[in-house]
Structure 1
Amino acid sequence: MTSEKNAQIGQAREAFQMMYQISQLLCTGLDTETLTICIRLCELGVDPEVLAHVIKEIRKIGDNATQSRPANLQP
């Protein structure tokens, strides 16, 4: 790889680490893999506000499913 390409990769990693730190400070609950997917979706043109809404709804569904399980099936 060229040094220019290495510099771009380094900058991309640094930018991702900063986004992940912001995510942690905001208590989003997103792990690195999920954050990566969200970033890629935004890069492909998905509206970030719509994406945030979908994530919130998925979490609600997951929370409701967990709460409705019988006690002996709870993790």
Structure 2
Amino acid sequence: MEDPKIQEAREAMDILYEISTLLNTGLDRETLSLCLNLCENGVNPEALANFEEKVLQ
């Protein structure tokens, strides 16, 4: 049986990925997960978005 916290985290990532897909961000699950981890660790989300925009061009 999977730990409830792990299951909740997986479900949250599934929802976040679905939103990302609907918004046509072009981010895969791994990249989205990395971005989420960076934001959770204090990286400015706007700065991260600007960086990704420039890298993906």
Letter in 1 for 2:44: D
For 2:27, the equivalent position in structure 1 comes to: 30
Percent identity among equivalent residues?
47
> What aligned pairs does 1:7-46 form with structure 2 within 5 A after superposition?
7-46=4-43
Moved over 2 A (4+): none
CA displacement 1:5-39 (0-9 Å, x = unmatched): 71111111100000000000000000011111101
| Bigger Rg, which one | 1
Structure 1 gap segments, 5+ residues each? 61-75
Instruction: Measure, in 2, the Cα distance between the counterparts of 1:33 and 1:50.
Output: 19
Structure 2 gap segments, 5+ residues each? none
Letter in 2 for 1:34: T
By relative contact order (CA 8 Å, sep 6+), the higher-ranking structure is 2
RMSD (Å), alpha carbons: 1.4
Deviation at 1:59, TM superposition (A): 1.6
